[in-house]
Structure 1
Amino acid sequence: MKQNPTPCITNLFMLTIAGIVNAFGITLFMTPVKLYDSGISGTSMLLEPVSPSYLSLSLFLLILNIPLFLIGLKK
């Protein structure tokens, strides 16, 4: 049976929008006032100040989310 690709595209679009909203919230509101989130976002925020300057918050968010993405893709 062939599955309709529309729900998959809709889910990908909604996940992208959610990621953008999350990124804006973290970088514009939480990081400047040193308010830490929980989970991957909070871990990234804690790692950023103790790491070299070329490792940014965005890079930590990307690196720490890749394993979760791969686990979700497998499931």
Structure 2
Amino acid sequence: MRITIRSYSIFSDFLGNEVRIELDESITVGELLDYLKNTYSLPSKPEPIVLINGEIASLDQQLRDGDTVYIAPPFSGG
């Protein structure tokens, strides 16, 4: 299974703007975040907002071959 990860702000400091990974089996969004923390030292804080193919994803959502995952910090402002 191949997925593309696009990261923004602080997360791009660890992953670059885009990284492609290949996995032997399907995983959830939560498992992907754990993998990125262990492999790329992705920080736990701030808690990222994750989108799959442009739609907000939950931690238990399964990833599929060809998915694009967007990882960004929470938005704030006024």
Whether the TM-score (by the shorter chain) exceeds 0.5 is no
TM-score (norm 2): 0.28
Bigger share in strand: 2
Bigger share in helix: 1
TM-score (norm 1): 0.29
Higher relative contact order (CA 8 A, sep 6+): 2
